[in-house]
C-alpha cells in the first residue's frame, strides 16, 4: 500500500484521495440457463482453440499467447465495470478523479509501474438552462423541465443526483426567442431542401433530430444556414423503439430502448484537444504554458457560435405538435403514432437561454508500463478513455473493464516468466468526451518520442454494444493481424464459430480508422502511428448512448449479461498486442495497404470522370507502394527462415526491417496538414470536413472535389489537382521508407 500511495502522487505534486472500493468479483447475473450453456460452450471452444494453437506454434511466445487466452475472467470484467460506474464521472469532477485512482490502484496492485499525468484544460459545464414553448395553435405555453427521469427500482437513483444537467459542452451562451424550423437530421442537404421549399432559417431556432451526423456538425450546419439557435432531440423512431410506439412500446429498464425523457448529450467543439492550446500541449495547473484568450476562442470557427440544447423525444414531440407550415417529406417523418412533422417556420416559438461555464480544470491520464526486454525503446500502446457523460457503463467503461482484464492476464503471464520483447503501455485517457483532450495533449507533449518509438496504438472505446459480432477498424497493415487473432477466439454468441468467422460475414469485415470520434485520432491522424479501434456488436443496439441510462443495469440486462463479450474483446485485443510486442519481426503487411489504396483510387477516378484533372500521379505512386510492400514482405519471409542464426548481422537486419515497417505510416503525413485543418496531418485517412464521424479515404482530395463541383472554376480544379499531387507525394514517401534505400 505504501508503494501504491507513493504512485498516487501526480506529476504536479497533488496528493490523491483514497481509492474507490472495489467490490468482490462475482459471477455476473442474467442470461438464464441458455446463457450459461452458451458460456460453457464458449469456454470449451476456447480450450480447443488454445490446444490447436499450441500444436501449431510451439514457441515460447505462442505458448504465452495460448496461456493468455485461458486466463479470461468474466467475473473480473464485471467487478471492474461495477466499481467504475457507481457514480457519474464527467471529466474535471471529483468522481472522475476517484475513477482515475481506481485505475491507478488496479495497475499498481499488479506490480506495474504506473502514474497519473495531469493537465489543466478548458472544460465546459452548464450554469443555467431554460427552454419554454410559447403559446401556439391553441396550446398553452409550456416550460420544459429538461430532466431525465429515473425509473422505479433504479439502484443508482441516489447517485443520479450527481449527473450534470443535460447540455452541450462549449455551446455559446445567450438567449433566443424565435420561431422553430424543422431541419430533419441537420445535414447541409436538409437546409438546401428547406431553402428550395422557401423556408427561411435565418434568425430561427433549428430543430434537428439526433442521428446520421454528430451533434457538433448539426450545430455548425445550423449556424451556417443562419439559425440563431439549435435544439437537438432524440427521435423515438431512432432510439426509442419506434416500431413499437404507443401502448405496446417498452423502454429501459423493461427493454433496451431510450426512455421518453432520455437525452443524448455531447460536445460542440470542432477540434481535438484543449481548446486553449491548439497544436501544442497543455500543462499542469500552476505551470506556465501559452494559451489562447477567451476573445480568441469566442471568434474561433471551432466553436459553435450559437446557443444549443439537447432535449428528449417527449420534448421534441411537444415542439413538433405546435409547428405549422408545409408537411415534411416522408423520409423526414417520425415513427408510428408520432405527430405529423411540419417544416415551419412557427407558429411555435421557443424561448431558449443557455449560460455556460467554461473553466480551466484538471484532467488526469493514468498509464502503466510493462518494460520490454530486448527492445524497450519500441512501444505497443493500448488505450481507452475513462471519463463519461453519466455513468458510462458502455461508453467508455466497458472498454476500461476489458483493458483492466487484459492487465490482470498480463500480470499472470509475468508470474509465469513472460517478458515482452517490446514495451507495452496501458493508457486510461481523460476528457475524451469533451474533445479527445487527454490523449491529444499526451500525444502532443510526447510527439517526437512517439513518432520515433511507437509501433502501434490499439484503442477500444466501447468494447460491447450488444450482439452483432466483432467490428474492427484499422489501418490496412493491421488487417492480417486482426484476422489471425480473431481466429483464435470463439464468438461469445456463437461458440461453434470464431470471431473471425462471424466478422467475415460483414461487408467489409474491417473498416478504416478515418473518422474522428475517439482516441486513435491523435496517434494516427496527427503523427501517423498505425492504429486500431474495435468493439463488439452494433451501435443500433445501444440506444441509451450518452444518456442517464447508460448504467451497469443496462449492461447486465442487454449489453452483455454474462460478460463473455467483454472477455472475447479483451482476448482478441490482448492477442494483437502480444503479437506486436513479442514477434521478432513486426507483423505488418503493407501489401494490403496498397490494394486498399488502389480500390479507393478507383472510386475517386469514377467520381472525377469528365473533370479537367488527372489521377496518374496517384496511380503511379500506388504502384510504387505495391512494389515496395511486396519487397519488404519477401524480406520478412527470408529473415523468418533464418531466425535460428541469431548473428549480429541478422539482429541488425531485423531491426532495420522493423524500422521500415514502423515508420512507413509516418510518411503518409504532411507537416502542413489538410487544407483548412492543419492538425490533421494524415493524407490518407481523416474525418470528413462535413462529418466529424464520417469515414473518408483521401480526405483532402474528397473535400477539394466537392468544392470544385460546386464552384466549377479554374482555380478550384487547380486546387483539386494540387491535392492529388499532395497525396501522391505522401504515398511515394511511404514507398521509399518501405523500400529502405535512398534515391
- Report the C-alpha dihedral over residues 291, 292, 293, 296, rounded to 10 degrees: 180
Q: For residue 672, which of 708, 723, 718 has the smallest C-alpha distance?
A: 723
Which bin fits 13, alpha (ψ -120 to 50), beta or left (φ > 0)? left
- Report the C-alpha dihedral over residues 206, 211, 215, 219, rounded to 10 degrees: -30
Residue 554 and residue 252 in contact, taking contact as beta carbons nearer than 8 Å: yes
Cα separation, 684 vs 702, in Å, equals: 11
Cell numbers of 269, please?
467543439
Cα separation, 139 vs 113, in Å, equals: 63
- Report the C-alpha dihedral over residues 278, 283, 284, 289, rounded to 10 degrees: -100
Cα separation, 492 vs 480, in Å, equals: 22
Peptide bond into 347 cis (omega under 30): yes
Residues 6+ apart with CB under 8 A from 5: none
Residue 361 and residue 123 in contact, taking contact as beta carbons nearer than 8 Å: yes
| DSSP helix/strand/coil, 356 | strand
Distances (CA, A) of 201 to 106, 226, 663: 52, 6, 49
Cα separation, 354 vs 671, in Å, equals: 39
Distance of alpha carbon 487 from the chain centroid: 24
Residues 6+ apart with CB under 8 A from 15: 8, 9
| DSSP helix/strand/coil, 137 | coil
Cα separation, 442 vs 438, in Å, equals: 6
Distance of alpha carbon 686 from the chain centroid: 13
Residues 6+ apart with CB under 8 A from 741: none
| DSSP helix/strand/coil, 173 | coil
Only one residue has cell 445550423, namely: 222
- One DSSP character per residue, 64-93 reads HHHHHHHT--HHHHHHHHHHHTSS---TTS
Cα separation, 143 vs 641, in Å, equals: 74
With the C-alpha atoms ordered 679, 682, 684, 687, is the resulting torsion angle positive or negative?
negative
Residue 281 and residue 116 in contact, taking contact as beta carbons nearer than 8 Å: no
As a whole number of Å, the end-to-end CA separation of the chain is 58
Residue 442 and residue 365 in contact, taking contact as beta carbons nearer than 8 Å: yes
Beta strands in 3-69 (DSSP E): none
Residue 667 and residue 694 in contact, taking contact as beta carbons nearer than 8 Å: no
Q: For residue 30, which of 466, 561, 393, 552 has the smallest C-alpha distance?
A: 561
Cα separation, 413 vs 406, in Å, equals: 11
With the C-alpha atoms ordered 578, 581, 582, 587, is the resulting torsion angle positive or negative?
positive
Distances (CA, A) of 183 to 205, 230, 344: 10, 10, 9
Beta strands in 412-489 (DSSP E): 422-429, 454-459, 470-474
Cell numbers of 194, please?
428547406
Distance of alpha carbon 366 from the chain centroid: 18
User: Could you tell me which residues are beta bridge partners of residue 323?
Assistant: none
Which are the catalytic amino acids?
432
Amino acid at each position: 500500500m505504501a508503494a501504491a500511495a507513493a504512485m498516487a502522487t501526480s506529476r504536479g505534486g497533488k496528493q490523491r484521495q483514497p481509492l474507490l472500493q472495489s467490490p468482490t468479483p462475482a459471477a455476473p447475473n442474467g442470461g438464464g440457463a441458455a446463457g450459461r450453456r452458451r458460456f460453457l460452450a464458449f469456454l470449451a471452444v476456447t480450450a480447443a482453440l488454445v490446444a490447436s494453437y499450441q500444436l501449431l506454434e510451439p514457441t515460447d511466445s505462442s505458448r504465452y499467447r495460448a496461456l493468455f487466452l485461458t486466463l479470461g475472467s468474466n467475473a473480473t470484467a464485471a467487478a471492474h465495470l461495477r466499481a467504475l460506474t457507481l457514480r457519474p464521472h464527467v471529466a474535471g469532477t471529483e468522481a472522475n478523479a476517484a475513477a482515475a485512482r481506481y485505475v491507478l490502484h488496479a495497475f499498481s496492485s499488479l506490480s506495474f509501474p504506473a502514474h497519473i499525468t495531469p493537465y489543466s484544460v478548458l472544460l465546459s459545464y452548464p450554469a443555467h438552462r431554460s427552454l419554454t414553448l410559447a403559446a401556439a395553435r391553441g396550446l398553452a405555453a409550456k416550460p420544459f423541465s429538461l430532466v431525465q427521469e429515473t425509473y422505479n427500482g433504479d439502484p443508482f437513483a441516489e447517485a443520479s443526483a450527481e449527473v450534470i444537467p443535460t447540455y452541450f459542452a462549449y455551446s455559446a451562451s445567450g438567449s433566443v426567442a424565435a420561431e422553430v424550423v424543422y431541419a430533419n437530421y441537420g445535414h447541409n442537404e436538409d437546409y438546401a431542401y428547406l431553402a428550395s421549399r422557401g423556408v427561411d432559417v435565418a434568425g430561427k431556432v433549428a430543430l434537428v433530430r439526433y442521428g446520421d451526423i454528430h451533434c457538433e456538425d448539426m450545430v455548425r450546419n445550423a449556424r451556417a444556414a443562419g439559425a440563431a439557435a439549435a435544439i437537438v432531440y432524440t427521435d423515438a423512431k431512432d432510439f426509442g423503439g419506434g416500431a413499437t410506439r404507443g401502448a405496446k412500446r417498452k423502454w429501459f429498464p423493461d427493454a433496451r430502448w431510450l426512455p421518453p425523457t432520455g437525452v443524448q448529450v455531447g460536445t460542440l467543439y470542432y477540434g481535438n484537444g484543449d481548446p486553449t492550446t491548439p497544436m501544442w500541449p497543455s500543462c499542469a495547473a500552476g505551470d506556465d504554458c501559452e494559451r489562447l484568450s477567451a476573445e480568441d476562442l469566442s471568434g474561433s470557427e471551432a466553436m459553435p457560435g450559437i446557443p444549443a440544447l439537447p432535449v428528449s423525444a417527449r420534448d421534441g414531440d411537444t415542439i413538433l405538435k405546435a409547428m405549422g407550415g408545409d408537411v415534411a417529406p416522408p423520409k423526414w417523418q417520425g415513427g408510428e403514432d408520432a405527430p405529423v412533422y411540419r417544416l415551419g417556420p412557427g407558429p411555435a416559438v421557443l424561448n431558449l437561454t443557455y449560460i455556460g461555464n467554461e473553466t480551466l480544470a484538471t484532467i488526469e491520464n493514468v498509464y502503466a508500463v510493462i518494460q520490454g526486454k530486448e527492445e524497450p525503446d519500441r512501444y505497443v500502446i493500448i488505450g481507452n478513455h475513462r471519463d463519461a457523460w453519466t455513468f458510462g457503463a458502455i461508453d467508455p467503461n466497458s472498454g476500461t473493464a476489458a483493458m483492466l482484464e487484459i492487465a490482470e492476464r498480463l500480470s499472470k503471464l509475468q508470474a509465469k516468466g513472460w517478458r515482452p520483447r517490446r514495451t507495452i503501455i496501458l493508457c486510461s485517457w481523460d476528457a475524451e468526451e469533451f474533445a479527445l483532450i487527454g490523449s491529444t495533449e499526451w500525444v502532443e507533449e510526447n510527439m517526437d518520442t512517439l513518432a520515433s518509438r511507437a509501433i502501434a496504438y490499439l484503442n477500444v472505446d466501447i468494447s460491447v454494444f450488444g450482439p452483432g459480432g466483432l467490428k474492427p477498424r484499422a489501418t490496412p497493415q493491421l488487417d492480417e493481424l486482426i484476422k489471425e487473432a480473431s481466429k483464435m477466439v470463439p464468438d461469445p454468441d456463437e461458440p461453434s464459430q470464431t470471431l473471425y468467422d462471424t466478422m467475415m460475414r460483414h461487408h467489409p469485415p474491417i473498416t478504416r480508422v478515418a473518422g474522428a470520434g475517439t482516441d486513435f485520432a491523435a496517434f494516427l491522424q496527427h503523427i501517423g502511428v498505425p492504429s486500431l479501434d474495435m468493439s463488439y456488436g452494433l451501435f443500433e443496439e445501444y440506444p441509451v448512448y450518452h444518456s442517464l441510462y447508460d448504467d451497469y443495469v443496462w449492461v447486465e440486462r442487454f449489453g452483455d449479461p454474462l460478460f463473455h463479450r467483454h472477455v472475447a474483446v479483451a482476448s482478441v485485443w490482448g492477442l494483437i498486442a502480444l503479437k506486436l510486442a513479442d514477434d521478432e519481426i513486426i507483423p505488418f503487411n503493407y501489401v494490403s495497404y496498397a490494394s486498399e489504396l488502389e480500390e479507393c483510387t478507383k472510386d475517386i477516378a469514377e467520381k472525377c470522370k469528365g473533370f479537367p484533372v488527372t489521377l496518374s500521379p496517384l496511380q503511379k505512386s500506388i504502384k510504387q507502394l505495391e512494389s515496395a510492400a511486396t519487397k519488404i514482405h519477401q524480406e520478412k519471409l527470408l529473415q523468418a527462415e533464418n531466425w535460428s542464426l541469431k548473428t549480429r548481422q541478422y539482429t541488425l537486419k531485423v531491426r532495420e526491417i522493423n524500422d521500415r515497417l514502423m515508420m512507413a505510416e509516418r510518411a503518409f503525413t504532411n507537416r502542413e496538414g489538410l487544407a483548412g485543418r492543419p492538425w490533421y496531418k494524415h493524407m490518407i485517412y481523416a474525418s470528413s470536413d462535413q462529418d466529424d464521424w464520417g469515414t473518408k479515404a483521401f480526405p483532402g482530395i474528397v473535400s477539394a472535389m466537392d468544392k470544385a463541383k460546386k464552384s466549377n472554376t479554374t482555380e478550384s480544379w487547380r486546387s483539386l489537382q494540387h491535392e492529388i499531387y499532395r497525396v501522391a507525394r505522401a504515398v511515394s514517401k511511404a514507398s521509399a521508407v518501405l523500400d529502405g534505400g535512398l534515391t
